[in-house]
């Protein structure tokens, strides 16, 4: 997947140089090289080994809270052990060079923040912000890091300190609405930006996948960085094929 001689097209380089407002729209692929599994990659994606309906829906949590909570604790432990990669770092550096840059991520990890990005919007919530499944009050984790994380281990979720209901992961499951503040900020940014970079996302999950389309409709330049094709290829101005950690740093060169 390494491709050290990738050339950034001159038209993209100048679009980036001239841009006053940039949206960096990211998905699981940006964290792949930090060792965090994507969802839909054929061999390594989470959904090739786990059933999304049995884990990432409100119904799944209601029927088997311990399976779902244990699975998210396993993933949180992986993220806590992982470090930002060259793509996260280059995105943070880009923020220092562009007048207004916002990272709109679908990721539930905190690797953009740990790389130094200051303006990050999480469309699908966070592994690190659990809340009560009934009253919605934010809740702490029982202990710092999940101990002995194993992918199949059942762990009973803690009880809400206020109402006693099970605490749930602070992520957005299928069928749930996106956090309104995050979504409104993202839409506004996409519709006002000069350039949107779509990095490491399959662009399949809605409404998030609307963002590049909104940016295109508003006249922005849209560039995609992904080793594989996505439904956005046909409409993006630039499709740079390769790993984010190889290509994003080249945008700074």
Contact of 228 with 59, CB cutoff 8 Å? no
Kindly tell me which of 37 and 165 has the beta carbon lying closer to Zn ion: 165
Cβ distance to ligand BJW smaller for residue 139 or 226 = 226
When asked if residue 122 is in the footprint of ligand BJW (CB under 6 A), the reply is no
> Cα–Cα distance between 228 and 204 in angstroms, integer?
13
134 vs 213, beta carbon nearer Zn ion: 134
What residues form DSSP beta bridges with 195? 22, 221
Known binding site for Zn(2+): residues? Answer: 132, 135, 160, 163
Does 159 interact with Zn ion (rule: CB under 5 A)?
Answer: no
- For residue 239, the cross-strand partners are 224
Site for Zn ion in 40-69 (CB under 5 A): none
Instruction: Compute the least distance from the CB of residue 68 to ligand BJW, in Å.
Output: 9
Q: Give least dist CB 71 to ligand BJW, A.
A: 8
Q: Is 128 a catalytic residue?
A: no
Nearest CB to Zn ion, comparing residues 74 and 141: 141
Say how far apart CA 66 and CA 46 lie, in whole Å.
Answer: 19
Residue choice 12, 19, 25, 39 for contact with ligand BJW (CB under 6 A): 39
| Position among 24, 27, 90, 110 found at the interface with ligand BJW (CB under 6 A) | 27
Q: Can you tell me which of 126, 198, 224, 226 binds ligand BJW, judged by CB under 6 A?
A: 226
Q: Residue 11 in contact with residue 222, Cβ under 8 Å?
A: no
In whole angstroms, give the CA distance from residue 60 to residue 103.
Answer: 30
CA-nearest of 98, 128, 135, 99 to 112 is: 128
Q: Where in the chain does DSSP place strands (E)?
A: 21-26, 100-105, 120-122, 125-132, 167-171, 195-199, 221-225, 238-240
Instruction: Copy the structure tokens of residue 35.
Output: 């060792």
SS3 call for 71: helix
The footprint of ligand BJW on residues 47-76 (CB under 6 A) is: 56
| CA torsion angle 55 60 61 67 (round to 10) | -50
Set 5, 112, 124, 128: catalytic member: 124
160 near Zn ion, rule: CB under 5 A: yes
Q: Taking CB within 5 to 8 Å according to partner kind, which of Zn ion, ligand BJW, none is near residue 230? A: ligand BJW
| Binds ligand BJW (CB under 6 A): choice among 117, 133, 139, 201 | 201
Binding site for Zn ion (CB under 5 A): 132, 134-135, 160, 162-163, 165
Q: Among all residues, which ones are annotated catalytic?
A: 124
């Amino acid at each position: 997947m390494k491709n050290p001689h990738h050339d950034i097209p001159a038209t993209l380089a100048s679009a980036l140089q001239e841009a006053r407002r940039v949206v960096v729209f990211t998905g699981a692929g940006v964290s792949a090289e930090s060792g965090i599994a994507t969802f839909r990659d054929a061999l390594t994606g989470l959904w090739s080994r786990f059933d999304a309906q049995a884990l990432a829906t409100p119904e799944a949590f209601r029927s088997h809270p311990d399976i779902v909570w244990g699975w998210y604790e396993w993933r949180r432990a992986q993220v806590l052990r992982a470090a930002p990669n060259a793509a996260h770092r280059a995105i943070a550096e880009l923020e220092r060079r562009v007048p207004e840059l916002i990272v709109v991520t679908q990721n539930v990890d905190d690797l953009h923040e740990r790389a130094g990005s200051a303006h990050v919007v999480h469309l699908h919530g966070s592994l690190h912000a659990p809340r009560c499944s009934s009253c919605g009050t934010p809740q702490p984790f029982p202990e710092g890091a999940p101990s002995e994380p194993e992918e199949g281990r059942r762990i009973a979720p803690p009880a809400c300190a206020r109402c006693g209901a099970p605490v749930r992961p602070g992520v957005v499951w299928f069928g749930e609405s996106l956090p309104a503040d995050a979504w409104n900020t993202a839409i506004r940014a996409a519709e006002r930006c000069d350039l949107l970079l779509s990095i490491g996302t399959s662009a399949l999950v809605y409404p998030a996948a609307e963002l590049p389309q909104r940016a295109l409709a508003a006249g922005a330049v849209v560039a995609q960085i992904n080793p594989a094709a996505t439904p956005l290829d046909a409409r993006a101005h630039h499709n740079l094929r390769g790993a984010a950690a190889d290509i994003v740093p080249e945008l700074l060169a």
